[in-house]
Chains A and B, each alone.
Chain A
Amino acid sequence: TQLLEQSPQFLSIQEGENLTVYCNSSSVFSSLQWYRQEPGEGPVLLVTVVTGGEVKKLKRLTFQFGDARKDSSLHITAAQPGDTGLYLCAGVLPSGNLIFGKGTKLSVKP
């Protein structure tokens, strides 16, 4: 069974701080996606990483795919209250289906 371990599960920080969320698996994924979900809404895709070692930047968000394509990280610089939400990583299986991590609930306080 392929599992994605996401950490930390909860994170509460002050505006302006930096943070990193980790997504780890013992399995290799062809690609990995990061989503952000607001309460009562569906997940919204932030990024897809495909190549081992790949780094993608989305404004203050930096996503990295591990060299072995088993792990990924999301780093947010100078977090803002608008970054508050549930961040989910999802591995893309060979079938094309997604397997989600348990998510990291981020709260950024002004």
Chain B
Amino acid sequence: GAVVSQHPSWVICKSGTSVKIECRSLDFQATTMFWYRQFPKQSLMLMATSNEGSKATYEQGVEKDKFLINHASLTLSTLTVTSAHPEDSSFYICSARDIKQGVWGYTFGSGTRLTVV
């Protein structure tokens, strides 16, 4: 089945630094990837939709200059949290849609636990 690899699985960084999270579709091409954020005991909130070769579409309230998304190839999207602050600490999850499986073909990565100290 479709596999999405997300790296790193956890990261601790100092306040003010930047952190990059990678999301790779291992065995399929994904023209669209999605980035979610999940706070403890809460559901997934969509942050942005990443389309290969074009600018990401951000959800209302998500700062595009803080959460930089790059989708340079059909198998890789990256999320960079710039100038991280403790309130950015969260569980970040990516998902990729397999174009061959149509609108329902979502596969999620295993998530990245970001802790900003």
Given the known inter-chain contacts A88-B44, A101-B43, A103-B43, please indicate yes or no for A42 contacting B111, CB distance below 8 A: yes
- A45 to B25 Cα, complex, angstroms: 16
The answer to whether B97 touches A96, judged by C-beta atoms less than 8 angstroms apart, is yes
| Residues in chain A near residue B4, CB distance under 8 A | 42
The answer to whether B108 touches A44, judged by C-beta atoms less than 8 angstroms apart, is yes
Count of A-B contacts judged by CB separation below 8 Å: 53
| Residues in chain A near residue B93, CB distance under 8 A | 42-43
Contact with B along A15-31 (1 / 0, CB 8 A): 00000000000000011
- A42 to B32 Cα, complex, angstroms: 17
A95 nearest CB across to chain B (Å): 8
Q: Which residues of B from 38 to 81 have beta carbons under 8 Å from A?
A: 41-46, 49
Count A interface residues, CB 8 Å: 22
- A102 to B45 Cα, complex, angstroms: 10
Chain B residue with minimal CB distance to A92?
B103
Contact with A along B1-35 (1 / 0, CB 8 A): 00010100100000000000000000000001010
| Residues in chain B near residue A44, CB distance under 8 A | 108
Q: Which residues of A from 53 to 110 have beta carbons under 8 Å from B?
A: 88, 92, 96-103, 105
- A101 to B42 Cα, complex, angstroms: 9
| Residues in chain B near residue A100, CB distance under 8 A | 43-45
The answer to whether A96 touches B103, judged by C-beta atoms less than 8 angstroms apart, is yes
Judged by a CB distance under 8 angstroms, whether B113 is at the interface is yes
The answer to whether A97 touches B111, judged by C-beta atoms less than 8 angstroms apart, is no
- A1 to B91 Cα, complex, angstroms: 24
- A32 to B101 Cα, complex, angstroms: 15
- Given A40-B111, A102-B42, 14 more A-B residue pairs with CB atoms under 8 Å apart are A40-B113, A41-B111, A42-B6, A42-B109, A42-B110, A44-B108, A45-B106, A92-B104, A96-B97, A97-B46, A98-B106, A100-B43, A100-B44, A100-B45
